[in-house]
Amino acid sequence: MAVVGGGIGGLAAALALSRAGHDVRVFEQARAVSEVGAGIQLAPNATRVLRDLGVLAEIERVAVRPEVFEFRRWDDGRLLSSTPLGAAIEQTYGAPYLHVHRADLVRVLAGAFPAERVAVGRRCVGAVRRPDGAEVRFADGSGTAADVVVGADGIHSAVRASLFGARAARFTGYVAYRGLVPAQRVAGLGLGRRSTVDLGPGAHLVHYFVAAGRLLNVVCVLEESSWTREAWTDPGDPAELRAAFTGWHPTVRGVVEALDHPLKWALFDREPLPEWGAGAVTLVGDACHPMLPYAAQGAGQAVEDAAALAACLTGASAADVPAALARYAELRLPRTTRVQGMSRDNGTRFHLPDGPDQLARDEVMAAAFGLSPDIDWLYGHPVPASSSGGREGARRG
């Protein structure tokens, strides 16, 4: 099996498939398997899968267990909603809620997968179906045959484009200033081990600790009418960022002022795909369901994909592969489409201007301490079952 892409989704898929008895190779276009410096949140729906893959203990060594998830108002810092995490959420869902540096997560996943099965510097330009499987094609003109090809190559996926045609991603009108701040620089702000979202007119800010508490991950989301630059990330202007948060609560301004070298990211997405593959070719993660970050589920849904894919392919013969991959998409597509919608809706809710709609939102939040039905549906999702030990159904390639 060939997995195109060595990020979180690709490595999770490779590890899940390998643990299920398949012979897997990963092809990554970069010269090394790595990740940009940013934090992510791993809810129990993801950490249960990571535990089953045998990597959760190692991730916990470099992660942070937040005690609470909270929303606060932009100008006075008033608490709008608070959800216990820590031991409470682990008791409810059987797995922890974690904050982790992306690079740390990629490092753990890569360390659990045989290094000799990862080929770097291999830029995929597409995948084609064959009578006996599929073939990955690379920019240097070479190709690799496999009985299954998994496109985990992100929102710009060449595998997806080869299946369904090339279409530009949509700029959402949001930009994010992101960065990491040494914990000692914000020690006087009393932030604690929390995941905090400060909501304001046309903007919101998220912050939480990662890297075993050594770094504060900061994401400041603003609205921008257009994005004309080719790069998705630019060096952000700290003065511009600070000006955008003038008048916000002193704690928010303190966090923003500590962010000396932010990167400015354009947030893009795509409409949900009606299908995820054809024949022996399929997709995972951002290649098929890019997520806006407003539900903190981008990595989590990619990890769920990995478990579901391995479960559907367990025991599949060569003739069974197309049907198994169709079943995988059938299982996953409704859920990921709903999560994409939740994320988009949160973008609107988070940025409401002061007024009746914002007051109504805040009243709903104040009355909804604890886990909402949507969150219960999201975090309580069961891990797909697969036969991880037996090799009878294992397939090569």
State which H helix or E strand residue 338 sits in: helix 321-350
Q: 2-65+100-169+270-351+372-378 is classed in which CATH architecture?
A: 3-Layer(bba) Sandwich (3.50)
Taking 50 as the threshold, does the pLDDT of residue 390 lie above it?
no
Q: Are strands 25-28 and 118-120 parallel, antiparallel or unpaired?
A: parallel
Predicted pLDDT at 61? 96
Percent above pLDDT 90 for the chain: 81
Structure tokens given for 367: 């009355």
Residues 6 or more apart whose Cβ sits within 8 Å of residue 316: 323, 324, 393, 395
Mean pLDDT of the chain: 91
Among 93, 174, 177, 208, the one annotated catalytic: 208
Query: How does residue 256 score in pLDDT terms, banded at 50, 70 and 90?
Result: very high
Q: What is the pTM of this model?
A: 0.93
Predicted pLDDT at 197? 96
For 7-20, write each residue's pLDDT tens digit: 999 999 999 999 99
How far apart CA 83 and CA 88 sit, in angstroms, is 9
In this prediction, residues 231-250 reach a mean pLDDT of 90
How far apart CA 121 and CA 10 sit, in angstroms, is 15
For 368-383, write each residue's pLDDT tens digit: 655 567 888 999 998 7
How far apart CA 270 and CA 66 sit, in angstroms, is 31
Predicted pLDDT at 3? 98
State which H helix or E strand residue 55 sits in: none
Q: Which of 379, 365, 335 is nearest to 91 (CA)?
A: 379
How far apart CA 58 and CA 111 sit, in angstroms, is 10
Is residue 174 flagged as an active site residue?
A: no
In this prediction, residues 93-119 reach a mean pLDDT of 96
> Does 390 or 289 have the greater pLDDT score?
289
How far apart CA 271 and CA 266 sit, in angstroms, is 17
